[in-house]
Amino acid sequence: ESIVDWRNTTNYLRCNPSFHNFPRYDCVILQTQAGVIFGRLLMLFTCVMDGQTHPVALVHPYDAPVGQRSLKDKQFQFWRVRKRPGVSSKFFSVHSIIRGAVLAEDHSIQGDYLVIDTIDTDMFLRIKLMHKSAGHLP
């Protein structure tokens, strides 16, 4: 559901080892019990239990602590995420996916990524709310 106009929208997320002959594993925002996290889709599948089908995503979480925010991150209001070690992948219900996300690797710090919040208004507002709830903005 978009926080711009409260309408349901569709994100076409890809999770494919050979998407036009190249691997493509999209990133997502997930709602967890601990809060909102970012992650990269590794696999999507369904499980059937007691006759009910449950869609499941295997996700590599990008929720490792990033430490103190740098001056650059503060000035430009960057939202930085850090991926966990590869063995930290977890299973989530597909229903916990809020939306797709675009992350740009920060080559100056291994494992760090910057969230691109200018892809649309919904993403811009979501990141702004995350900054406010984290105490980054007045």
pLDDT tens-digit readout, 3-12: 999 999 888 9
The mean of the pLDDT values for the chain is 94
Instruction: Answer whether residue 138 shows pLDDT above 80.
Output: no
Locate 47 and state its tokens.
Answer: 């499980």
H or E stretch at 56: strand 52-61
Locate 122 and state its tokens.
Answer: 């919904």
Secondary structure class of 130 (helix, strand, coil): helix
Greatest distance between any 2 Cα atoms in the chain:
53
Instruction: Answer whether residue 86 shows pLDDT above 80.
Output: no
Q: What is the pLDDT of residue 9?
A: 87
Summarize pLDDT for 32-84 with one digit per residue, the tens.
Answer: 999 999 999 999 999 999 999 999 999 999 999 998 999 999 999 999 999 99
Could you give the CA distance from residue 54 to residue 65 in angstroms, rounded to a whole number? 31
Could you give the CA distance from residue 119 to residue 102 in angstroms, rounded to a whole number? 8
Calculate ∠ Cα 130-120-110, nearest 5°: 60
Could you give the CA distance from residue 29 to residue 41 in angstroms, rounded to a whole number? 10
Q: What is the pLDDT of residue 119?
A: 95
Could you give the CA distance from residue 128 to residue 122 in angstroms, rounded to a whole number? 10
Query: What is the percentage of the chain residues whose pLDDT exceeds 90?
Result: 87
Taking the CB of residue 102, how many other CB atoms lie within 10 A of it? 15
CB 4 within 8 A of CB 122: yes
Instruction: Answer whether residue 85 shows pLDDT above 90.
Output: no
Q: How confident is the model at residue 114 (pLDDT cuts 50, 70, 90)?
A: very high
Q: What is the pLDDT of residue 118?
A: 96
